[in-house]
Each structure stands twice: as C-alpha cells, then as structure tokens.
Chains A and B, each alone.
Chain A
C-alpha cells in the first residue's frame, strides 16, 4: 500500500471537509501521526495544551478526576472528533484528562504552528473557525442535554 502523507490523511478526514487544497497544504506542515494504546492518556488536566489532537481511528474519552471517586468518564469521542479546544483558549492548559478507550490513531497538529498560519493567512483562519465551530457547538449542545440528568427518576 502506498505511503499516505499527512496531506493525504487530512484530505480524507471529516474534520477537513470543505478545506481547499491550499489550506490543506498549509495545515499539513503542522501535522504528524500519533498512536496511543488503549488506556493510555492523550493528555492530563493542567498540561500545556500545545497540540490539536484529531481522531482518525479508535475511541477516546474525556475524564475528570473527582476525589474519592476515581476518574469520571463524561464524554466519548470517535473518529472525526477534535479532542479538545484548550489549545485555542488562554491559558492554553488542558481542562480535563483525555484517555484512549481503544487503540487510537490520531493526527496531532502543532497548535502554535496552526495559529501562526491562521494569523499569516487570514482566509485559512476564517475557514478553520467556520468549519470547526459547528463541531464545538454540537458538543456543547450534547453536554447541555447531558446536564439535565434526563433519565433520572424525575425527568419526564
């Protein structure tokens, strides 16, 4: 099988649907492949958020550590998902743990590199926010529903 470049991988990946060739060329320069074994942490709460991790294969989970209760799994992530957004928002520290639930293959983009390219090529920045914001909005909406404790005894 022919070797797939980062550029090829991005071109096939759902998170990059709608990005044109020039945008993919720019972003590919910031990317590398990552693999995590099932159970391994992708990052830990408080870590400097320097990487945009985008799942290609396998599932991951967002976890929060609660005293005396161990890690609580609060959200599952699947191929196509962008794992976390802390790289974009000061103070750029991970707000939760992220763990591979199965073996995971991911694309890791250097966050500084992506942000610099967005500053330099504002059209890329605009496209990135336009195309990635719906992903973030979908997750916020789902978490709102989750907050409602929908299946509790007094939800109807």
Chain B
C-alpha cells in the first residue's frame, strides 16, 4: 500500500505563475496566470478556480477573462481576509496553486436570438465578464445586449477602461449607476434596480434573458423587480457564493438548500433557487 493516500486530480493544486498584476481598484487586483508546465486551461463563462496562496489557504475565485483566450487566465480578487489579501499581494513571478475549473456556467449560448441583459453589482462584473466577452464575440446571434452595472462611487467602477471600449464599440448598451457621487458624475445615482425601466425600454420582456451577479440582496431584489417587469424566472440566472473547501461536491461546506454551490452552481437558474434565496437561515 502506498505510504501516501492518493489525491485525486481535482483535489491537487497545480503550480501557476503570476505573469502580470493589474491594479483595478484600491482593494482589487487582477492576476494573470500561466501554467508552469501545462497547456492553457479551457473554461466556460461563470466557472471558478480554487486559488491556493501557499502557507495561507485556498479560496474560490471566478475566472474573469475572455474564454476565447484561455492563455490569458485572469482572476480578479478583492482583499477581504487572510487568503484574498495574500493573493492580492502576490507580485509578478510569484507562484500559486490552482485547482479547477469548477462549477456551472452562464448559458449564453443557449439563449441565442434573445436580448441578453447582464446585471452586475460591484465585483460581480468579474464572473460576468467572460459571458459578456463570449456574447460580444457572437453579437449577431443575439437580438441585443445590455449591461447594467452598479458601483459604490465613480472611483470604484470595475474595469472602467474596458467599459469605455465596449461603449465606444457600440455593440452593447451600458448603464452604469453609483450609490453616491459628486456633481462631476453625469450618470445616474441609485441602485441597479432603478435602471431597469430605462435599460428595458422598448424591449419585449419575453425576449429577455437576464444574468445577475453581485451581492445576494441585489440579486434577490433584482430578480424580483425583473419578474415584476415581465421577465420569466426561467430566463434569469444568478451566481451564488458560499464558503467552500473541496469544491468537488464532497464535503458539504457550500450547501445551499438542496444544492451544493460548487457542484450544482455557482450559476443557478433563478427559478430553482428562488425559494431558498428567500429563507434567511439557508
């Protein structure tokens, strides 16, 4: 019998090197990673990896780059505690451990012919960005694409440089709103839900497929409001977050109602999670 218990492939972190660190916001960085000795990692929009900061710990982080460029493996990390801070402090050339990709994906491909509505709050744009890139790459497949993005203030708008590029390209309508701002801000002030009537003006709600990612309260209220505006709960998806350990459906750490977020999510059809979303203890 071997001295060491075998560790299955999905449980073994592989070494990845940080090839670039992009400082996005005061407390947010994007790490560009390259495999030490393997081919680029294919992934689907909305999936996540477990990133391991050696000697500190491992956390789930969504893949935030363009899925057509798996050679540019991007993760956007906000510093909130020990592991995310250790990851955010890594410099170019550092090595971390990575397992994945895990989880379900944003089903943009099955929604062809429809109007795609992306709703992101704060860092929620990171897990949605791959889906937006995928949709823009196949723009002709969709009736339209709209992004509604909420941020704390104009200084805290994630990927502002890319939003400017997307807006200039004109392939997608973008509505950015902030919680508060000075008078120099010409855009709307308010929560993302306040922008729904304008964002959907002139679009038949039964043609809309919505993808929401952000704080849970935002998604709960956002889906409720979209439903009220006529969008079917079958045509809305949200991405859930729960603390994770194994990320492979074994430990039960990420249980959410009858589901495990790592295995059945993180992207769920709203209709499936509408009930547990409303239960405080879940």
- Which residues of A pack against B, CB within 8 Å? 59, 61, 63, 69-76, 78, 99, 101-102, 142, 145-146, 148-156
Contact = CB atoms under 8 A, between A and B. Distances in A.
B218 A150 contact: yes
Contact of A150 (B27, B79, B185, B191): B191
A146 B121 CA distance: 12
Interface stretch (B61-69, B136-144, B174-182): B174-182
Contact of A76 (B123, B156, B188, B221): B188
Contacts of B78: 153
B152 interface: yes
A69 B215 CA distance: 28
Interface residues of B, number: 34
A147 to B, nearest CB: 9
A25 B165 CA distance: 50
B190 A101 contact: no
Nearest to B218: A150
Given A63-B183, A73-B182, A150-B215, A142 B80 contact: no
A72 B181 contact: yes
Contacts of A70: 182-183
Of all A-B residue pairs in the complex, the 4 with the closest CB atoms, nearest first, are A151-B122, A76-B188, A145-B191, A76-B189
Given A76-B177, A145-B193, A146-B190, 13 more contacts: A69-B182, A71-B182, A72-B181, A73-B183, A73-B189, A76-B187, A145-B221, A150-B121, A151-B122, A151-B214, A152-B122, A153-B27, A155-B215
B188 A59 contact: yes
B180 A145 contact: no
Interface in B72-124: 78-80, 121-123
Nearest to A39: B183
A153 B180 contact: no
B220 to A, nearest CB: 10
Contacts of A101: 186
Contacts of A155: 122, 215, 217
A145 to B, nearest CB: 5
A153 B179 CA distance: 14
A154 B79 CA distance: 10
A146 B179 contact: yes
A145 B78 CA distance: 22
B191 A78 contact: no
Interface of B: 27, 78-80, 121-123, 150-152, 156, 177, 179-183, 185-191, 193-194, 198, 214-218, 221, 241
A78 B189 contact: no
Contacts of B122: 150-152, 155
Contacts of B182: 69-73
A70 B181 CA distance: 10
Nearest to B186: A101
Contact of B191 (A63, A73, A99, A142): A142
B214 A145 contact: no
A150 B192 CA distance: 11
Contacts of B187: 76
B22 to A, nearest CB: 18
A74 B217 contact: no
Contacts of A72: 180-182
Contacts of B190: 75-76, 142, 146
Contacts of B191: 142, 145-146, 150
Contacts of B194: 76, 142
A92 to B, nearest CB: 25
Given A150-B121, A151-B214, A78 B183 contact: no
Contacts of B177: 76
Contact of B189 (A61, A69, A154): A61
B180 A73 contact: yes
